[in-house]
């Protein structure tokens, strides 16, 4: 009797074209097989002109992408799942000339910007604490936390357009530690190859940075052509210009408003926060991750663990002390971490034919007193 009753329900349901997941749904593997039938191999070459010819890391990436784009390969990845996540500082952009991009811009804002007068406590923090720590290589977690708080404050009330222009104008200034290039030109040329290669092969490239989101967004949209909505990073408040002390939950945006930066840091996007941000903002597990430090370890582990599709993580080693201001001690620690976790390593010394534009020439870093520290 029950069997006839259930059969009647099924027949009626199917007659009206309703979908019954327990009966009609197919597995993700079966879905992928269906997708394969409608696609042909679409691999796009890249000459990787800034990489050494015998780079094993480069070849590992090329083989991965070649298989991911070939529907006849067991390692094929549907286009919608071709997600690649990159850290920014030290992965795409120099963090050794002499430190993180946003820190150098912060120093410029507080000490050298003729349009801005910094509060005395922030100026004192930069002159007495932050700059000496950067040039001595001794930035503590406490100093970093204080920087993040003050960073939000020194740009408060700037409109989003004004801030974007400010970042991009700073990128045109000469970099400290490489003669002949600007901060904007200190994006690693070999990693530009990688971004272009992945985008040409229908990978969605996201930048997942510990730096400020609006800073990161302005930098990578200008230099790498990565869409603004593909930037995940640390967040400071954004407010309506006439909002005042009223909470945005209750204040109604008007035609006379514009969006401005607030003075409060909301969340720092590091370690596990990168993982939760990817889950929240992308909603798809990446298949490729690129980083350079322990701050990227969580993101890389998340990428390669229990992934439905083939997945790899690549971490850069800052081991070049001839063409760049490398740190061999840090490079060894990262290499050991990669071995432990099953990540691939990219040696800037051995895998990069060139690091910056050809006109760049390594120079001494000038500290806060105007003296060379190398």
Q: Judge whether residue 11 has pLDDT over 60.
A: no
Q: For residue 14, what pLDDT is reported?
A: 40
Any domain includes 178: yes
Q: For residue 373, what pLDDT is reported?
A: 87
Any domain includes 38: no
Domain count across the chain: 1
CATH number of residue 136's parent domain? 3.40.50.1000
Any domain includes 171: yes
E strand spans, the chain: 83-86, 178-179, 204-212, 231-240, 259-267, 288-291, 312-317, 344-347, 361-362
Any domain includes 64: yes
Tell me the per-residue pLDDT of 149-177, one tens digit each, with 9 for 90 and over: 999 999 999 999 999 999 999 999 999 99
Any domain includes 9: no
Any domain includes 34: no
Q: Judge whether residue 26 has pLDDT over 60.
A: no
Q: Write down the mean pLDDT value for the chain.
A: 92
Domain residue limits at 307: 56-362
Q: For residue 337, what pLDDT is reported?
A: 98
Tell me the per-residue pLDDT of 71-127, one tens digit each, with 9 for 90 and over: 999 999 999 999 999 999 999 999 999 999 999 999 999 999 999 999 999 999 999
Q: For residue 30, what pLDDT is reported?
A: 65
Tell me the per-residue pLDDT of 196-236, one tens digit each, with 9 for 90 and over: 999 999 999 999 999 999 999 999 999 999 999 999 999 99
The radius of gyration of the chain from alpha carbons, rounded to an integer in Å, stands at 24
Angle at the Cα of 157 from the Cα atoms of 154 and 159, rounded to 5 degrees: 115
Q: Judge whether residue 6 has pLDDT over 80.
A: no
- Determine what percent of the chain is predicted with pLDDT higher than 90: 87
Q: Which of 172, 142, 179, 155 is nearest to 106 (CA)?
A: 155
Lowest average pLDDT, out of 19-28, 129-138, 329-338, goes to 19-28
Coil/strand/helix, residue 354 = coil
Any domain includes 31: no
Q: How far apart are the first and last CA of the chain?
A: 88
Q: What mean pLDDT do residues 274-300 have?
A: 98
Distance CA 122, CA 369 (A): 18
Q: Which two tokens stand for residue 9?
A: 């329900």
Q: Which two tokens stand for residue 91?
A: 């992965």
Any domain includes 150: yes
Rounded to two decimals, what is the model's pTM? 0.89
């Amino acid at each position: 009797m029950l069997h006839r009753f259930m059969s009647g329900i099924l027949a009626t349901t199917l007659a009206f074209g309703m979908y019954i997941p327990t009966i009609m749904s197919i597995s993700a593997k079966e879905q992928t097989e269906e997708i394969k039938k409608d696609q042909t191999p679409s691999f796009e070459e890249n000459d990787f002109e800034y990489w050494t010819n015998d780079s094993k890391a480069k070849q590992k990436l090329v083989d991965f992408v070649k298989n991911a784009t070939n529907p006849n390969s067991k390692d094929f990845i549907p286009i919608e799942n071709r997600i690649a996540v990159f850290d920014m500082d030290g992965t795409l952009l120099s963090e050794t000339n002499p430190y993180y991009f946003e820190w150098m811009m912060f120093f410029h804002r507080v000490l050298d910007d003729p349009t801005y007068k910094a509060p005395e406590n922030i100026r004192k923090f930069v002159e007495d604490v932050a700059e000496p720590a950067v040039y001595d290589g001794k930035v503590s977690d406490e100093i970093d936390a204080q920087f993040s708080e003050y960073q939000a404050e020194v740009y408060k009330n700037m409109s989003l357009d004004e801030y974007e222009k400010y970042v991009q104008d700073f990128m045109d200034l000469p970099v400290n530690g490489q003669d002949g290039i600007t901060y904007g030109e200190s994006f690693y040329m070999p990693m530009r190859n990688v971004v272009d290669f992945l985008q040409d092969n229908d990978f969605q490239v996201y930048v997942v940075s510990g730096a400020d989101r609006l800073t990161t967004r302005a930098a990578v949209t200008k230099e790498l052509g990565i869409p603004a909505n593909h930037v995940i990073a640390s967040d400071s408040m954004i407010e309506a210009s006439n909002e005042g002390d009223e909470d945005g939950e209750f204040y109604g945006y008007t035609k006379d408003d514009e969006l401005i930066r607030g003075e409060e840091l909301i969340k720092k996007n590091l370690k596990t926060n990168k993982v939760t941000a990817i889950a929240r903002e992308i909603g798809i597990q990446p298949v490729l991750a690129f980083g350079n430090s322990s701050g990227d370890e969580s993101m890389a582990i998340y990428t390669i663990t229990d992934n439905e599709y083939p997945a790899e993580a690549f971490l850069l080693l800052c081991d070049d002390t001839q063409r760049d201001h490398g740190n061999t001690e840090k490079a060894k620690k990262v290499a050991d971490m990669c071995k432990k976790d099953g990540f691939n390593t990219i040696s800037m010394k051995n895998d990069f034919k060139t690091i910056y534009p050809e006109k760049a020439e390594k120079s001494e870093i000038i500290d806060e007193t105007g003296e060379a520290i190398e």
